[in-house]
Amino acid sequence: MKKGTLINADISYAIAKMGHNDMLTICDSGLPIPRGVQRIDVAIKKGVPTFIETLETIVEELRIEEIIIAREIREISPHMFQEILKIIESVEAAENIKVRITEVDHEEFKSMTKESSCIVRTGEYTPYANIILKSGVVF
């Protein structure tokens, strides 16, 4: 049995296959998932698992160098935006790296998800609780 925080086999495998600059998206329950992109649906019911729990777990396993979010999150879901920033700050401190934060409009964000290696769908119901994680390198 795998020892570690991330025990979802599909997510673990998707991360293992990622190279530098590959993208993984974590989304709320409502984000449209483009055809042709692997969907890893972990949603069980409203709020389970949360977007934040999923993000915290994935960033423990994936080295990130950039995040991409919809700029609408600042105004529509400011509490979620602040939670994302806290997680990124803790990643930066723990790994002694700087993570670039890129904000785009929601329509552009949805278009960018077509380039993701996979999209992890959560049970989150908070508007704009979506993020693209761009893979970094571990050396």
For the chain, helix, strand, coil in percent to 5 are 35, 25, 40
**In tens digits, what is the pLDDT along the chain, a chain of 139 residues?**
666 789 999 999 999 999 999 999 999 999 999 999 999 999 999 999 999 999 999 999 999 999 999 999 999 999 999 999 999 999 999 999 999 999 999 999 999 999 999 999 999 999 999 999 999 999 8
* Domains, the chain: 9-135 (3.40.1650.10)
Alpha-carbon distance of 127 to 50, in angstroms, equals 12
Q: Looking at the annotation, which residues are catalytic?
A: 20
For position 114, what pLDDT does the model report? 98
For position 53, what pLDDT does the model report? 98
For position 108, what pLDDT does the model report? 98
